[in-house]
Amino acid sequence: MNEDLKKTLLNPIFKGNPITVLVLGICSSLAVTVQLKGAFVMALSVIIVTGLSSFIVSLLRNSIPNRVRIIVQLVVVAMMVILVDQVLRAYAYSIDKQLSVYIGLIITNCIVMGRIEAFALGNKPIPSLLDGLANGAGYGMILIIVAFFRELLGSGTLFGLRVLPASYVPNNLVILPPMALIILGCIVWVQRSIQKDLQEK
Amino acid sequence: MNTNNNVYTIVYTTVVVVIAAAILAIAAMALKPRQQANIKAETISQMLTAAGFSSKEDLAKLGNDQILAMYSDNIKTAFLIDAEGNKTDELETEVSSIELQDNLKVENKNIASGNPSLPVYVFEKDGAEINVIPCYGAGLWGPIWGYIAFDADCDQILGAYFDHESETPGLGAKIKDEAWFREQFKGKKVDFEHPDNPFAIVKGGAPAGDASKVDAITGATMTCNGLDAALDNWFRAYIPFLQKKAGAAMEDDCCGEDGCEDCDHDHDHGHDHNHQHNHQEG
């Protein structure tokens, strides 16, 4: 059992990463990775939403009428997303203003619904919670890696603090979404060369 | 139990939705005071940015309390005006009880019905008055609004700041993000002579030397049209007030909207006149 839990927790971080392996949640990973701060908050929000909605749906899993299960899942996910948005609006207003469009879009983030359908509906609450949190973390990790390169090369800063000398001319291409896709591609490349079993024959 | 039963399905979904709604309602109520404080500080920081006291980036680093204090320290008076430009009511500017007329959506409707109650925020910087007024309108996806700062006799625009709810990032959102866009408002004038179109955001570039036109943003035609309409609408509503302020400066002024450079001398004269006037009042 403990071994299972460990696998549930670690698998989504690397071997079964939602972005680089399952290729879910690409859209928001391109949009909110210009700065580390935004990526960090987005990662945290997704971790909370995926974890708690998996947990709640798992609690309800035996009572949910099969015909309307997607609707019920959506209600749970939407509720969590609105709660996160409201809390951010109260406690981190400037970040909420930047992210608010994308926070709303967590509802449509395939990772959340994907994990609920694939895992939470068939597993007990605690493993579901861990699975949700771990998938959120796997997503967040990629987000932060991409944001690290984009903020460093695009603005010469990290978390808003200048790290590259002022003489560094920021690369404007890195700020644009296409570059996020290229960085993401490089991450997938690195992962696939380490993890040979992911390579298609 | 048969969970595919119709009655069960309906009752189940109803209960789930009601519980979710209750949780959200409680959360919204509990968080509202904090959210409103944030919105108030945000509104004030937009005004302070337009009036040139600080930049939006610097203000974002300050706490709400510091922003409110900065407002209170720099504001001279804030009041409401009616459609004729007459003062109707004072707004509290004391730091503990700052009043703003920030329900621009309602006022936007009131402008259309001819019975608005419009705010004017008069700041003081280095001894000179700065009059800040808002504008509000529809962008492409949602509302857009902004604050425009005028000099003491409401002749020249000193600065502007625009914001939006949900314009497209990288296109319409540039009205907020691109500094060059709001920078071009500096030194522009409202065209009192043409109240039907007192200000214009021109696609393809504003003609050089035209004092009441600025360049539009490429790829953001709908947002720029919306902002243009919002500025026209609100400037029109403020023209009686602005003209009163401009008063003497306008009367012996040869040039209205064209803003010909030759007339700068006359403008200076107008300023002097107005200053004397102010002294008499003081």
pLDDT digits 0-9 by tens, B106-150? 999 999 888 899 999 999 988 889 999 999 999 998 999 999 999
Q: Do B12 and A90 touch (CB under 8 A)?
A: no
Residue range(s) defining the domain that contains residue B85: 76-281
| Cβ partners under 8 Å of residue B99, min gap 6 | B78, B91, B92, B93
Nearest to B135 by CA among B119, B122, B151: B119
> Does B16 reside within a domain?
no
Number of domains in chain B: 1
φ/ψ of residue B254, rounded to 5: -80, -35
> Does B210 reside within a domain?
yes
> Does B45 reside within a domain?
no
> Does B277 reside within a domain?
yes
The pLDDT score that the predictor gives to residue B258 is: 45
> Does B228 reside within a domain?
yes
What is the sign of the dihedral through the CA atoms of B257, B172, A35 and A179?
A: negative
| Cβ partners under 8 Å of residue B249, min gap 6 | B153, B155, B267, B270, B271, B273, B274
Instruction: Give residue A181's identity as a one-letter amino acid code.
Output: L
Provide ipTM, 2 decimals.
0.78
Q: Does A190 touch chain B (CB under 8 A)?
A: no
- A-chain residues near B23 (CB < 8 A): 79, 83
Nearest to B216 by CA among B194, B170, B189, B184: B184
Q: Does B42 touch chain A (CB under 8 A)?
A: yes
Residue A117 has pLDDT above 80, yes or no: yes
Higher pLDDT, B278 or A47: A47
Tokens 């049209």 locate to B225
Instruction: Give residue B233's identity as a one-letter amino acid code.
Output: N
Nearest to B48 by CA among B118, B147, B126, B120: B147
> Does B140 reside within a domain?
yes
pLDDT tens digit string along B255-276? Answer: 444 444 444 444 444 444 444 4
**A63, A90, A101: residue with CB nearest B35:** A90
> Does B89 reside within a domain?
yes
Residue A20 has pLDDT above 60, yes or no: yes
- DSSP helix, strand, coil percent of chain B (3-state; round to 5): 50, 20, 35
Among A94-98, B16-20, B241-245, the range scoring the smallest mean pLDDT is A94-98
pLDDT tens digit string along B64-110? Answer: 889 999 999 999 999 999 888 888 888 888 888 888 888 899 999 99
Residue A118 has pLDDT above 70, yes or no: yes
- Listed by number, the residues of chain A in 6-35 with a beta carbon closer than 8 Å to a beta carbon of chain B are 31
Query: How far, in Å, CA of B89 to CA of B232, rounded?
Result: 24
Q: Is A170 left (phi over 0), alpha (psi -120 to 50) or beta?
A: beta
> Does B47 reside within a domain?
no
What are the structural domain ranges in chain A?
15-198
| Cβ partners under 8 Å of residue A40, min gap 6 | A140, A144, A147
Q: Which of A84, A86, A159 to mutate to test the interface with B (most CBs of B within 10 A)?
A: A86
DSSP A2-46: HHHHHHHHHTTTTTT-TTTTS--SHHHHHHS-SSHHHHHHHHHHH
